[in-house]
Amino acid sequence: MLSYYLRLALLSIKRNPILSTLMVAAIAVGIGASMTTITVNYAMGSDPVPHKSDELFAVQVDSWDPNNPFREPNIAPDQMTYMDAMALMKSAPAKRQTAMTKTFAVIEPEDRDVRPFETTGRATYGDFFQMFEPPFLYGNGWSRESDDNLEMVTVLSRETNEKLFGGDNSVGKFVRIGGRNYKVVGVLDHYRPVPKYYDVTNGPFRDPEDYYIPFNLVAAFELSRAGNTNCWKPNNEEGFQGFLNSECVWIQFWAELPTKSEQEDYLAFLNNYANQQKELGRFPRPLNNHIQSVMQWMELQGVVDDGAQVVMWLSIMFLLVCLLNTIGLLLTKFSTKAGEIGLRRALGASKRTLFLQHIIESAMIGVAGGCVGLFLAWGGLQGIGALFGNEVQHLVRLDVTMMFTAILLAIVSALLAGIYPTWRACNIQPAVQLKTQ
Amino acid sequence: MQIRPILSALSRNKTGAILIALQIALTMTIIVNSVFMIQDRRGQMDRASGIDEANTFIYSYSGFAEDFNEKTQIPEDLNYIRQLPGVVDAVQTNSAPLTGGGWSMGLATEQGADADGVGTAIYFVDSHGLDAFGVNLLAGRNFTPDEVIWRERSETKWPGQGIITKELASDMFDGDWQAALGKTVFIAETHPINIVGIVEKMQAPWNGWNGIERTLLFPSQLLFGSGRVMVRTEPGERDRLMREVEEGLVANYDGRLIRRVQSMEEIRENSYRNHNGMNTILTTLIVCLTVITALGIVGLASFSVNRRKKQIGTRRALGARKIDIMRYFMLENFLITSFGVIVGAGMTIGLNMLLVNALDLPKLDWYYVPAGMVVLWLIGQLAVYGPAKKACQISPALATRSV
C-alpha cells in the first residue's frame, strides 16, 4: 500500500513541476540556511570532553578590586593570581589539579638548514596530561616530581615534532626552546579540542600550543608569557618577583573532582582559604569562589558567540518564512486536485486514506528539500570557512548527527506545512466537486 | 475605488491572505533588523584609525641568539630602516591600531586609589612615533629624544611625559580638550604624567572596545626581547620596502626572527574579518529571503488568478477594462501587504528590543521601519505584477465557455 501511495505522490509531484520545484526549493533554502548556522552554533557549544566534562572544574577565587567586580554582574576573575595558584597547588584537596599559562619562545632546530621559528607553549603541571587526556603518539607526560624538581622536560605537539624530527620518535632527545635545552618526554598525536575549553580566556577556538613545559619553570626562568593578564591594583614592587607577588590574574586553574563530596570539600577549602587571606588584608570582596564544570564554564565565558546566535535565530525565522511559503503552495496545489479528491471520496475512499496519501506527498517533498538543503548547508559552511578563516575551520564540519538532524528537520517541517492543506483537501464535499465537473 | 469587493472576496478566502501577510511580516522583521545590523557594522568599519594606513607596515621581531643585545640592536635596526630610500620614518612600538592586542591602563586627574579613572590604550614610541604612525599633532609638541627612556618588561615606573588623543583629553577634562595641554594626570594611582601634546586621532588596538578613541603615547623604548616595528613609506613604495626591509634586516643580523611582516591594510582586513563575514552572511540571508517571499507571492497570486478565471472572464464580458482587472489584483496585494507590514513593524521593533537587551546593539533608527514598509510594498507589487498581467489577458469569451 505504501509503495502505491509513494507512486501516487510521485505522479502528483510530477504533474505540477513548477509548483513542486518551488516547494522543494523553499524547504531546501530554509533548511540550508538554518542548518548552516545551527551547525556552527552546535560546534561552538559542543562538549569537548563528553566522558569527563562533569569531573573537570575551572576554579575561580575572587581576589578582585573592592570597588568593581571583575565582570558584571559580580563575576569572579576567569584567571588566578600567582600567589593563589601556588597556595592551591600546595594544599587544595583535588585528585589532580593544574595551574597553567601560555608562553612563547623561539625554537632553534639542531638542523642548521631549518630556520628557527616562533612557537607558543603551555606551561603546566604534569597532571594536565591525565586530566585533559590529550592522545600521545610517543612517550608520556611528566610526573609531580619533575614539576617539583624543576626538570627541564617537554612534551611536543605532533606538528612541532614533525618540523623538528621529521615525525620520528623523539623521546629522549633534546630541543632548544627559548635558548634552553629541554628533554623530550612525550609527543602528542593530533589534538584539537573544540572549544579549547581549558583556556577560553586566550581564545576558545585557537589551536593548542606547540609545546608543553613544567609550570614552575615560568618563575624560575622568568619566561615571557603570551596570554592575557589583568590587574586591578598597581604593582609597585620591582622585577619579576614583584609581578609574581602582584594582584594580577594570568593563570588558568583546573581541578579534577570526580565525586560530589570531593567537589564540596574543594569549594569549602576555597572559601576557607579566602577567609584566611582576608585576615591578611587580601580578598577585599565578599566571598565569591566557585568551581565550574566544563559546560558551566563554556556558558559563563560566553564561548558561543552572540553574533552567531543572532544569525542562527534569524535563519530559523527564515525557515519559518519558507514553511509559510510551502503551506501556501501546498494549498494551491491540493486545491487543483479538488476534483480528483471529490471523485475518489464518492467512490468510497476514506478520509483517512486520502489524508495519508497526501501527507506522504508532503513528506516526499520534505525529503527532497532536505537532501538539497543538506548540499546548501555544506556549501554555506564552506562559505563561512572561507569568510572567517582559520579559527572556524573546526566549526564548519557537517557530522553524521547534523546530517540526520537536517533531513529530520526537513521532513518535520514539510509534514507540519502539509497538515493544514491536506486536512482542508480531505474535507472537500464530494457532491460539490462532482456537480461542477 | 473598489476596496469593498476586494475585502469581501478576501474574507471568503482568508487563509491564503493570512499566509502571505504573515510571511511579509516575518520577512520585514528579518530584513530590517539585518540591514540595521549591517549598517551598524559598516559604521564601525568606516571609522578612521588616525594613522597613515595606506603607506605603513609593521613587523614583529623576537631575539633568540645568545649574542642578541636588544639595547644596541633596536637602534641599529631603526637606523638601518630610516636611511632606506622611500622610507618616511620607523618606530619601535608595543602595538598599533587594529592589531587586537595591546596594553591598557587607567588615567585619573587626581592622585590616589579612589580617583575616578578613564581607561586608555598605551603605545610606547620614541621621538619618531608621530611621524612613523602619521598622526596629526593638534597642540603642544612631540617628545624630544632625551625624554625617551628604556623600559624593561617588569618595570613599575612610568615616563613623566605623555601625548594623548583629543578624545581622551576631552573625556578627562569635561569636554574641553584644549584644557588638557600642560596638565598633570596620574597613572597607576600615583605616577604623574605631564601632557605635552594632543593628537587629533589615533585608535586603540581593540576595535570592539567602546573607548577605542582613547590613546596615550609614552616616550619609551622597550626591552622585552621581542616587539614590533612600524614603518611608514612614501606612497607606492610600501610593497617593495616590505620585502627589502625583511631581507635587509636578516642579512644584517640573524640572531633575531623577523616575522609577520604585514601592511596595515592586511591588518585592517583581519581585524574586521568577522564584521565582513557577518555582513556577507546577513546579505545572503536578505537576498534569499526576498526571492523566496517574492516567489511565494507569485505562486499564490497565480493560483488565485487561475481559480478566478471565470469571474475575470465574466467581469471582462460585463465591460471591465484590462486595467480594471490589473488594478484589482494589484490593490488586493497592496491590502494584504499593508496588513503584513503593520504587523511587521511591531515585530521589527520587538526583535530590535530583544537584540538591544541581549547584545547591546544600538536602538533601531526610526526611519528603518517606514523604509522597510515601503520596500516590502514594492516587492509585493512587483511580485504580483506578472500574475496580474496574465489575469488581464484572460479573454471575456472564457466566461461563456464551460457554463
Q: At residue B173, what is the residue type? A: F
Residue B306 vs residue A160, higher pLDDT: A160
Range B171-192 average pLDDT: 88
Where b means 16+ CB within 10 Å and e means fewer, A369-390 reads bbbbbbebbbebbebbbebbee
DSSP assignment of A117-178 equals EEEEEEEE-THHHHHH-PPEEEE----HHHHHTT--EEEE-HHHHHHHHTTS--TT-EEEET
Biggest alpha carbon–alpha carbon distance for chain A? 100
If residue B118 lies in a helix (H) or strand (E), which one and from where to where?
strand B118-125
pLDDT of residue B403: 44
The DSSP code sequence of A258-327 is: -SHHHHHHHHHHHHHHHHHHHHTT---SPP--EEEEHHHHHHHTT-S-HHHHHHHHHHHHHHHHHHHHHH
User: Cβ A331–B153 below 8 Å, yes or no?
Assistant: no
Backbone angles phi, psi at A255, to 5 degrees: -135, 145
Contact A290, A76 (CB under 8 A): yes
Q: How confident is the model at residue A19 (pLDDT cuts 50, 70, 90)?
A: confident
Locate the chain A residue with the closest alpha carbon to B101.
A228
- Which of A25, A322, A387 minimises the CB distance to B280? A387
Which ranges in B237-272 belong to alpha helices (H)?
Answer: 238-252, 264-271
- Within an 8 Å CB–CB cutoff, is residue B263 touching chain A? no
Closest by alpha carbon to B246, among B87, B59, B56, B55?
A: B59
Same domain, A16 and A62: no
Which range among A200-214, A400-414, B279-293 shows the weakest confidence by mean pLDDT? A400-414
Q: Express each pLDDT in A72-117 by its tens digit.
A: 888 999 999 999 999 999 998 998 999 999 999 999 888 777 788 8
- Look at residue A56 and tell me whether its pLDDT is greater than 90: yes
| Residue of A322, A324, A336 lying closest to B19 (CB–CB) | A324
How many interface pairs between A and B have CB atoms less than 8 angstroms apart?
134
Please indicate whether, in this complex, the C-beta atoms of B274 and A388 are within 8 angstroms of each other.
Answer: yes
One DSSP character per residue, A205-228 reads TSPPPSEEEETHHHHHHT--B-S-
Could you tell me if A333 and A424 lie in one domain? yes
Query: Are A270 and A409 in the same domain?
Result: no
B268-282 pLDDT, tens per residue?
Answer: 988 888 888 889 989
Residues A95 and A170 both lie in one domain: yes
Q: Which residue has the higher pLDDT, B210 or B170?
A: B170
A383 contacts in B (CB within 8 Å)?
Answer: 280, 284
pLDDT at res. B402: 58
Q: Say how many residues make up chain B.
A: 403
> Is the CB of A331 less than 8 angstroms away from the CB of B358?
no
Contacts of B354 (CB under 8 A, 6+ apart): none
Q: Which residues of A touch B20 (CB under 8 A)?
A: 328
Nearest CA in chain A to B358: A306
Nearest residue in B to A116, CA atom: B257
On whether any CB of chain A is under 8 Å from the CB of B259, the answer is: yes
CB spacing of B257 vs A329 below 8 angstroms: no
> Contact at 8 Å (CB) between B71 and B223?
yes
pLDDT confidence of residue A205: 82
Q: How far apart are CA A249 and CA A231, in angstroms?
A: 6
Q: Identify residue B278 by its one-letter amino acid code.
A: M
Angle at B272 between CA B270 and CA B275, to 5 degrees: 135
Q: Do B26 and A332 touch (CB under 8 A)?
A: no
**Average pLDDT, integer, range B164-191:** 90
Contact A314 B34 (CB under 8 A): yes
Question: Using the beta-carbon criterion (under 8 Å), do B359 and A306 form an inter-chain contact?
Answer: yes
Contact indicator for B168, B50 with CB cutoff of 8 Å: no
Decide which of A436 and A329 is more confident. Answer: A329
| Count of positions (residues) in chain A | 437
pLDDT digits (tens, 9 = 90+) for A211-227: 999 999 999 998 988 88
pLDDT exceeds 50 at position A185: yes
Place of cell 583556556: A199
Residues A224 and A166 grouped into a single domain:
yes
Residue that is written with C-alpha cell 487563509 in the block: B15
How far is Cα of residue B237 from the mean position of the Cα atoms in its chain?
Answer: 29
Number of domains in chain A: 2
pLDDT above 70 coverage of chain B, percent: 98
What SS3 state is found at B79? helix
- pLDDT higher than threshold 90 for residue B201: yes
Residue A293's pLDDT band, with cuts at 50, 70 and 90, is very high
Do A148 and A16 sit in the same domain of this protein? no
Kindly give, in sequence order, each residue whose CB lies less than 8 Å from that of residue B359, ignoring residues fewer than 6 positions away: A306, A307, A310
Residue A50 resides in a domain: no
Same domain, A31 and A77: no
B258 vs A: CB within 8 A: no
Q: Are residues A75 and A100 in the same domain?
A: yes
Measured between beta carbons, which residues in chain A are less than 8 angstroms from residue B376? none
Using one digit for the tens of pLDDT, what is the confidence trace for A122-149? 999 999 999 999 999 999 999 999 999 9
CA-wise closest residue to B40 among B279, B319, B232, B290: B279
- ipTM score assigned to the predicted complex: 0.83
Distance CA B165, CA B214 (A): 6
Of residues A123 and B6, the one with the higher pLDDT is: A123
Whether residue A396 lies inside any domain: the answer is: yes
Closest partner residue to B300 among A118, A242, A332, by Cβ? Answer: A332
Residues A69 and A195 in one domain: yes
Q: Is A319 on the interface with B (CB under 8 A)?
A: no
pLDDT at B17 over 60: yes
Q: What are the residues whose beta carbons fall under 8 Å from the beta carbon of B201, sequence distance 6 or more?
A: B48, B49, B50, B135, B136, B165, B166, B167, B213
Which of A300, A318, A335 represents a domain boundary (last residue)? Answer: A300
pLDDT mean over A384-392: 80
Is A68's Cβ below 8 Å from some Cβ in B? Answer: no
Please determine, for residue A16, whether its predicted confidence score (pLDDT) is greater than 70. Answer: yes
Q: With contact defined as beta carbons under 8 Å apart, do A191 and A202 qualify?
A: no
Residue A362 belongs to domain spanning? 2-45+305-436
State the Cα torsion A154-A160-A161-A163 to the nearest 10°: -140
Query: Of the candidates A279, A300, A321, which is a domain's last residue?
Result: A300
Cβ pair B282, B39 in contact under 8 A: no
How far apart are alpha carbons A254 and A48 in whole angstroms? 15
Residues A193 and A280 reside in one and the same domain: yes
Residue spans of the domains in chain B: they are 3-46+273-401, 65-254
- Residue-level pLDDT at B401: 67
Choose the final residue of a domain: A265, A300, A335: A300
Greatest CA span in chain B, whole angstroms? 104
Residue of B nearest to A176 (CA): B64
Q: Do B35 and B361 meet the contact criterion of CB atoms below 8 Å apart?
A: no
Q: Please tell me which residue of chain B has the smallest CA distance to A308.
A: B278
Residue A27 makes CB contacts below 8 A (sequence gap 6+) with A322, A323, A326, A365, A366, A368, A369, A370, A373, A410, A413, A414, A417
The C-alpha of A5 sits at a distance from chain B's nearest C-alpha, in angstroms, of 26
